Amino acid sequence: MAQECNCDTGLFNLQPSSCVTTPGITRKFVFVEYLKANGTVNGVDLSAPFGEAEIDALLANSDKTLRWFLSDRFKNFVTDRADPNFETVDNENLYVSQGTRTMSGNFYAAGADLAAKLDGNRCVELGVFMIDSANGINGIVNRDLFLDPIRLNKETFWSKINFPTEANRFNVAFSTEWDRIVLDGDIRTLGYSDHQTDLLNKVGLIDVLARFGVANSATEIAIDLYDVDGSAAGDAFTGLLVGDFTVFNETTGLPVVASAAVEAPNGTYTIEMNIAQTAGDILTVTATQAGFDFSQTTNEKITAI
């Protein structure tokens, strides 16, 4: 982090270079866990190739500590830094510290469930890359050849739903504050020409959930898969094939081969297993399909009979 003052600082040359890059209007966010497991900041290594292939891999990373959690587009984005804090000494206002930067916006193409997910941001140390209207990735540079996420103060993250009225549409509003140590002067933009990726038209992973898991016999289980769409019942998740499923016996710690599967009705899958399971064993089901995150389906435990 750049220091505001130290013994080595003095006046700086203020003339910019001939080409100046500035952030555009923020349209989307990429939330990330701020620190990796090894304690380093979860930033973009600019010394390595970084293009669409790398970004796609980050968006779909099975390791949530490294994944880029891309938001949908939002509107009414506002960010402002409060006035600095001063101490008045002898009628002089002496600068003490920078004010807090807040940012807020509204998601219009979202159900109320998004508010619950956004509130989950309070549970992790997180950072954000701001994706602007020119597909620029805006973050922080405070170490050589890394674009780091802007650290957020997780405790300040909140959201709410605004019910529709005769004058306003339904939307999910959010607000958060930057961490106090983040300096505006450290913001840098990784432009589209640098990463060649249309992030405004990318989508993040969609959660798929499971319910009504049941064993019909020693070799047959059934489970409902759905995604949350703001409706009470959710939206049946259709189209999975037998090869998409992974059945796991949590009791033995061994995978179980699915020998056949059928979807009827939509979103309800009956899966045959190649070996009879021991009564009482706990089974879980997960699946694979590009663009979707099935990790929460294993919360549905099926007891073998």
Partner 1 sequence: MKTIQIGKLQFNLDACKKMTKKEFFKIHSSICEKHNIDCEYAYEKVSGKKTTSNKD
Cβ nearer to partner 1, comparing 53 with 276: 276
Q: Of these, 274, 295, 296, 299, which contacts partner 1 (CB under 8 A)?
A: 274
**46 touches partner 1 by CB under 8 A:** no
| 8 Å CB contact between 149 and 120 | no
Number of residues that bind partner 1 (CB under 8 A): 19
**243 touches partner 1 by CB under 8 A:** yes
Q: Which residues, 146 to 165, sit near partner 1 by CB under 8 A? A: none
Retrieve residue 57's tokens: 């891999």
**239 touches partner 1 by CB under 8 A:** no
* Site string (192-231) toward partner 1, x via CB under 8 A: ------------------------xx-xx-----------
**278 touches partner 1 by CB under 8 A:** no
Query: For residue 103, which of 71, 134, 148, 59 has the smallest C-alpha distance?
Result: 71
Instruction: List Cα–Cα distances, 209 to 119, 230, 231, 236, 304, in angstroms.
Output: 19, 13, 14, 10, 20
Given the rule CB under 8 A, which of 156-164, 201-209, 254-262, 277-285 is the region that contacts partner 1?
254-262
| 8 Å CB contact between 175 and 158 | yes
Least distance to partner 1, CB of residue 270, Å: 6
What does the alpha-carbon distance between residue 25 and residue 107 come to, in Å, rounded to a whole number? 15
What does the alpha-carbon distance between residue 270 and residue 224 come to, in Å, rounded to a whole number? 9
What residues form DSSP beta bridges with 209?
226
Least distance to partner 1, CB of residue 25, Å: 46
Q: Of these, 261, 268, 289, 298, which contacts partner 1 (CB under 8 A)?
A: 261
Cβ nearer to partner 1, comparing 33 with 281: 281
Amino acid at 136: G
E-strand spans in 135-205? Answer: 137-140, 146-147, 150-162, 171-178, 187-190
Least distance to partner 1, CB of residue 242, Å: 4
Residues forming contacts to partner 1 in the complex (CB under 8 A) are: 216-217, 219-220, 241-243, 257-264, 270, 272-274
